[in-house]
Amino acid sequence: MGLDDGARSPHDRLARALSDDMAAVNALIRARMSSEHAPRIPEVTAHLVEAGGKRLRPLLTLAAARLCGYRGDHHIRLAATVEFIHTATLLHDDVVDESHRRRGRPTANLLWDNKSSVLVGDYLFARSFQLMTETGSMAVLSILSDAAAMIAEGEVLQLTAAQNLSTGEETYLRVVRGKTAALFAAAAEVGGVIAGAPAAQVAALRTYGDALGIAFQMVDDLLDYGGTSETIGKNTGDDFRERKVTLPVIRALARADVDERAFWVRVIEKGQQTEGDFVAARALMVRHGALEATRAAALHWSDTARAALADLPDDPLRGMLDDLAGFVVARVA
Amino acid sequence: MGLDDGARSPHDRLARALSDDMAAVNALIRARMSSEHAPRIPEVTAHLVEAGGKRLRPLLTLAAARLCGYRGDHHIRLAATVEFIHTATLLHDDVVDESHRRRGRPTANLLWDNKSSVLVGDYLFARSFQLMTETGSMAVLSILSDAAAMIAEGEVLQLTAAQNLSTGEETYLRVVRGKTAALFAAAAEVGGVIAGAPAAQVAALRTYGDALGIAFQMVDDLLDYGGTSETIGKNTGDDFRERKVTLPVIRALARADVDERAFWVRVIEKGQQTEGDFVAARALMVRHGALEATRAAALHWSDTARAALADLPDDPLRGMLDDLAGFVVARVA
């Protein structure tokens, strides 16, 4: 590792330490996203895959496998598998959320159509199951098919919880685990399983991935209201417009007086939003410490992730995973 | 079997001969379509699953397993698996085709929304992979994940081939294999595989399912233009409105003169359809023998399915599968 590593993000350092593995993963993704007969499939997939996602989930799989001393090549298949599952869910999410931009580019549903996003997503799901089947590990198949079910269940739960102010923190956490943490947890866990790591290490990897995913999503939900800083940044307000009941809303609502409650009913339940409502919503969150509380919750889950690493072998990769758990909350710390 | 069996359809006789197995499949489907936290999932699924589908695919799996002497219970899981995959594709198909009716009832995308259909479909796909993983058979997982990829690829191919008059019979057959025959073939094949049948029997089951699926879809495509009889029945014209290039269109176009070609370009490629165009399209198909040719192709695939059964054990179930291959084309024979 170079002298400038201190200046790099933990994510970049992980990608660098695992660069050979990651190159193999990228080659496998390119090979398997192809379709001899339906060129629409690689077109749509490439639009998303090559838009420069962070590849965080495959890096977790690779790091977990290497950290547990794995010397084979199935971790490459598993890393490609989790990226395919992730890409498939992004394609379907953009249809469900009627999104127009993703990773700074127009979404596939906008460039092609919803039909292509639905069907290419299905294709990538199927490809992911082909890939994981090639590892020959039933334990891995069980973990990843469970994760896929949990992801879909979380997304449906989010759909029915949106616009519903009776959504509590328990339901919120279940949605977050489904939409984000389930795949982080499975990505890390299968790396340990394929390496034949002891049960305690596998459990530690799962706990790490789960907590990292929850922290990651809570930071996202917080930043959608501009974070705790005074200035509201870019890319805010999507959740508010989509009337999602995230932790900042839940916490602000818990302390709302009669007038404030009427405000939340109007903007979230009835969806009657006018200019200035987003700023007003944020002001209520600040007044009741809802953004600070969300920040504290994210930091708590980041700490949980770091603590889980104690059960894993002492190795530079473990240090990077530790730093990564700090990095995902650094934007709000 | 009762004295009135001669009057029953082969499908009914299969369902009756396998009634205990089928009851177990239905119980498993009900148990696995549940979701503790997202009640929307069983609501949407039940709407479709309990609408009285023919359960043809799970019957194929059960019949194949029993015909090959299977005595375990994994065929129940596999039959539920193929029905879940089928149900998931129906949910996504209805979104893609913007359908309003399915099995005589309003579609889920109409009753709830497209979002629910996409996400509940994803949930059922994931559930199907959980179920097949429980069999512990890598061979089965490989067959079914390949089928899932082939289905999605066929659907994407259909999407890009629609409205495109350069679509040839080879592409049409590929679409048919993807959207219909792939799951029929896999459903029959996994029944043999789980029973530990010899390779020749497994191959025969696959050929049977593939050919049965192709015949089934060709009959569907023919009936969408009212079949070869003089009177046009109900439920016709969907493919025409959706500008799908099915075999009747391909055959009529192959013999079209300049004026007729201009007609097809207008109604299929440009989508400028007016009243009377469907009747005019059908008249062109009759003039050029396109409906007769589609009928002959369906009968050919039905014969192929029946011929494949020669390699399977002599058993009443084999006779029912033979009759079933005749039954699927009986509506146009």
- Kindly report each contact of residues B252-259 with a partner whose C-beta sits within 8 Å and lies 24 or more positions away, as own/partner: B252/B281, B252/B284, B252/B285, B252/B287, B252/B288, B252/B290, B253/B165, B254/B288, B255/B288, B255/B289, B255/B290, B256/B284, B256/B288
| A–B CB contacts, 8 A cutoff, strictly below | 138
CA distance A321 to A205: 10
Q: CA nearest A182: which of A157, A156, A146?
A: A146
Each residue of B37-46: pLDDT tens digit? 888 888 888 8
**Residues in chain A within 8 Å Cβ distance of B151:** 122, 126
- Work out the minimum CA distance from A34 to partner chain B, whole angstroms: 10
CATH of the domain at B216: 1.10.600.10
Contact B149 A123 (CB under 8 A): yes
The number of folded domains in chain A is 1
Residue B1 lies inside a defined structural domain of this protein: no
- A159 close to B (CB below 8 A): yes
Tell me which H or E stretch contains A102: strand A101-102
**Residues in chain B within 8 Å Cβ distance of A95:** 114-115, 118
Contact A149 B157 (CB under 8 A): no
The pLDDT mean for chain A works out to 91
Q: In terms of residues, how long is chain A? A: 333
CA neighbours closer than 13 Å in the CB half-sphere of residue B64? 38
Confidence band for B106, pLDDT divided at 50, 70 and 90? confident
Q: Which of A156-160, A298-302, B4-8, B75-79 has the lowest mean pLDDT?
A: B4-8
- Indicate the Cα dihedral angle B42, B46, B48, B51, nearest 10°: 180
**Residues in chain A within 8 Å Cβ distance of B130:** 142, 145-146, 149
Q: Are B305 and B213 spatial neighbours (Cβ–Cβ below 8 Å)?
A: no
Rounded mean pLDDT, A2-31 = 84
**Hey, what are B226's tokens?**
């009212």
Confidence band for A107, pLDDT divided at 50, 70 and 90? confident
Residue B237 lies inside a defined structural domain of this protein: yes
- Work out the minimum CA distance from A202 to partner chain B, whole angstroms: 20
**Residues in chain B within 8 Å Cβ distance of A152:** 119-120, 122-123, 125-126
**Residues in chain A within 8 Å Cβ distance of B123:** 149, 152-153, 156
Cβ neighbour number for residue B254 with a 10 Å cutoff:
12
The reported pLDDT for the residue numbered A2 is: 44
**Residues in chain B within 8 Å Cβ distance of A43:** none
Residue B2 lies inside a defined structural domain of this protein: no
List the domain range (segments joined by +) for residue A57: 3-330
Q: CA nearest B117: which of B97, B132, B103?
A: B97
The reported pLDDT for the residue numbered B2 is: 44
Q: Which residue of A has its CA nearest to B141?
A: A133
Residue B211 lies inside a defined structural domain of this protein: yes
Tell me which H or E stretch contains A101: strand A101-102
CA distance B162 to B128: 29
Task: Check pLDDT > 70 for residue B1.
Answer: no
Each residue of A141-175: pLDDT tens digit? 999 999 999 999 999 898 888 889 999 999 999 99
Q: Pairing mode, if any, of strands B105-106 and B101-102?
A: antiparallel
Q: Residue type for B205, please? A: L
The reported pLDDT for the residue numbered B3 is: 45
Question: What are the C-alpha distances in Å from B201 to residues A45, A299, B191, B197?
Answer: 38, 59, 11, 6
Confidence band for B7, pLDDT divided at 50, 70 and 90? low
Each residue of B235-291: pLDDT tens digit? 788 899 989 999 999 999 999 999 999 999 999 999 999 999 999 999 999 999 999
- B38 close to A (CB below 8 A): yes
Q: Which of B35, B133, B142 sits opposite A153 (nearest CB)?
A: B35
Each residue of A81-102: pLDDT tens digit? 999 999 999 999 888 777 777 6
